């Protein structure tokens, strides 16, 4: 999730959480439009739906509209339109139309509406000067303030674990670093037989090192689907997040997770699911976006440090976050890792890491998306690894016509299912 993608899905928690936070911060009344979507409803239908929404709002200006909240609490002298990505295009077009058409056909109503098309990140500055306290924001997912407060607008929901689930996959939560309370969620096929050994996947979620969780619906559901498809045991790591816990803490937590996994290789570890069912000769790491960066760094470390009986076979890097070909490093990286030296930091730029040729696994798959802003960074990583002298096999898989981590936001689409199946195949091939 390095760059927010244009995902017009108003039903996902991202937009509900973002609007909830914006309303609380700006002290406004808000209306979020569920306009009809293409291709079933091609443009200009979305524009017409959005204009109809403004006309419906205008019907309340005299206090006699159908919605009491607007009648009682909306100030029609201070109306704003705002959105992100494709929605920002809609907001602009609504402002254009409001300049030439009457709302409700009344000059009085038209005069009551002061519609401005503004970027979401400017919305607070227009309405509330306290926004100057913002130190960093990655909307619509995350905001940090200069006084140390942090707002996470994504990944804070929790799906309860379910042991002995009647569904295809059972889950449980464990703490693997008691001294700091760092935890993980385990996944196992519910139909597994006594003594049956399966490949083990250790997964690191994305979120610019600042947000996300194994327990939120998006990652819980994705890992559940992947475990069911691949027939593996999985551990999804809840590493500590920046800025409260700046990098390299997430890397250290993730390495501690792998060491904890390795403590089970003799069948005497603290977790029965791993003792009884994990095949430690078939271990994989995977992650998306920032999590793919973590997965890479774990394979680098595994190449130079012992994992006590664990054979790390492969790494799945989905839409990974690294330096660009030109040496550009994202603002998110500098925010999460304030001690970084920038583009010559091997954690974000594998090209400068002398350990790359000793990567501690035998095969890697890099997944990129055609419309992802990080696409070229994934290709750059793939090319670097091929030239590094590493003796393993690396392949790259590109999904046409899709955005960053599309498979998480739209997991049932054909291309997301195909990507899931490709990762499952990678973990089960000889």
pLDDT at 133: 86
Rounded to 5 degrees, φ, ψ at 252 are: -65, -40
Indicate the range of 11-15, 138-142, 248-252, 361-365 predicted with least confidence.
11-15
Confidence of residue 64 (pLDDT cuts 50, 70, 90): confident
User: Which residue among the candidates 82, 117, 236, 289 is catalytic per the annotation?
Assistant: 289
Question: Higher confidence at residue 412 or residue 45?
Answer: 412
Q: 207 Cβ partners below 8 Å, 6+ apart?
A: 1, 141, 142, 154, 155, 241, 289, 290, 291
Exposed e or buried b for every residue in 326-345, given b needs 16+ CB within 10 A? eeebbebbebbbeebeebeb
pLDDT at 12: 52
What's the average model confidence in pLDDT over 17-39? Answer: 88
Two tokens at 363? 């095969």
Q: 67 Cβ partners below 8 Å, 6+ apart?
A: 60
Distance CA 141, CA 154 (A): 5
Rounded to 5 degrees, φ, ψ at 368 are: -130, 160
pLDDT at 298: 98
pLDDT, tens digit, 9 for 90 and up, residues 292-320: 999 999 999 999 999 989 999 999 999 99
44 preceded by a cis bond (ω within 30 of 0): yes
Residue 115 has pLDDT above 60, yes or no: no
Closest C-alpha among 252, 340, 336 to residue 290: 336
How much is the mean pLDDT over the chain? 89
Two tokens at 225? 């689907």
Confidence of residue 104 (pLDDT cuts 50, 70, 90): low
What's the average model confidence in pLDDT over 169-179? Answer: 97
Q: Topology of 169-428 in CATH?
A: Rossmann fold (3.40.50)
pLDDT, tens digit, 9 for 90 and up, residues 183-194: 999 999 999 999
Angle between helices 86-98 and 45-58 (to 10 degrees): 60
Confidence of residue 132 (pLDDT cuts 50, 70, 90): low
Two tokens at 358? 């000793």
Residue 106 has pLDDT above 50, yes or no: no
Quickly list DSSP for 375-386. HHHHHHHHHHHH
Question: Higher confidence at residue 400 or residue 49?
Answer: 400
| Per-residue CA distances from 251 to 90, 283, 384 (Å) | 41, 18, 22
pLDDT at 38: 86
| Per-residue CA distances from 76 to 53, 103, 190, 336, 355 (Å) | 14, 12, 56, 41, 62
Indicate the range of 60-74, 118-132, 382-396 predicted with least confidence.
118-132
Q: Is 289 a catalytic residue?
A: yes
Domain residue ranges of the chain, discontinuous segments joined by +: 28-127, 169-428
Distance CA 348, CA 333 (A): 8
Closest C-alpha among 70, 71, 73, 95 to residue 82: 95
Residue 358 near residue 302, CB atoms below 8 Å: no
């Amino acid at each position: 999730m390095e760059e927010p993608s244009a995902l017009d899905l108003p039903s996902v928690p991202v937009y509900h959480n973002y609007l909830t936070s914006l309303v609380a911060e700006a002290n406004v009344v808000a209306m979020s439009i569920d306009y009809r979507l293409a291709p079933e409803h091609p443009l200009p239908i979305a524009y017409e739906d959005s204009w109809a929404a403004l006309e419906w709002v205008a019907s309340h200006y005299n206090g006699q509209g159908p919605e009491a909240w607007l009648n009682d609490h909306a100030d029609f002298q201070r109306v704003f339109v705002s959105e992100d990505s494709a929605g920002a295009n809609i907001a602009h077009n609504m402002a254009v139309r409001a300049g030439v058409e009457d709302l409700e056909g009344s000059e009085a109503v038209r005069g009551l509406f002061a519609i401005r098309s503004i970027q979401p990140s400017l919305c607070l500055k227009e309405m509330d000067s306290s926004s100057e306290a913002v130190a960093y924001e990655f909307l619509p997912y995350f905001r940090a303030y200069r006084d140390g407060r942090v707002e996470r607008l994504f990944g804070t929901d929790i799906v309860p674990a379910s042991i002995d689930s009647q569904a295809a996959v059972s889950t449980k939560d464990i703490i693997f670093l008691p001294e700091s309370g760092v935890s993980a969620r385990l996944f196992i096929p519910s139909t597994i037989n006594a003594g049956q050994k399966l490949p083990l996947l250790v997964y690191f979620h994305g979120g610019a090192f600042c947000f996300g969780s194994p327990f939120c619906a998006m990652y819980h559901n994705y890992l559940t689907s992947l475990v069911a498809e691949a027939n593996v045991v999985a551990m999804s790591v809840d590493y500590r997040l920046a800025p409260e816990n700046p990098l390299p803490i997430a890397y250290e937590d993730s390495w501690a997770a792998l060491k904890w996994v390795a403590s089970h290789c003799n069948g005497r570890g603290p977790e029965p699911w791993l003792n009884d069912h994990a095949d430690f000769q078939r271990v994989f790491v995977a992650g998306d976006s920032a999590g793919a960066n973590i997965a890479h760094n774990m394979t680098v470390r595994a190449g130079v440090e012992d994992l006590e009986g664990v054979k790390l076979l492969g790494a799945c890097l989905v839409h990974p976050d690294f330096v660009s070909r030109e040496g550009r490093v994202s603002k998110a990286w500098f925010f999460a890792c304030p001690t970084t030296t920038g583009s010559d930091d091997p954690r974000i730029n594998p090209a400068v890491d002398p350990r790359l040729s000793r990567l501690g696994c035998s095969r890697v798959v890099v997944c990129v998306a055609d419309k992802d802003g990080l696409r070229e960074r994934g290709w750059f990583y793939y090319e670097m690894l091929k030239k590094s002298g590493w003796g393993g096999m690396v392949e790259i898989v590109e999904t046409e016509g899709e955005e960053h981590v599309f498979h998480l936001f739209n997991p049932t689409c054909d291309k997301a299912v195909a990507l899931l199946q490709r990762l499952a195949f990678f973990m089960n091939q000889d």
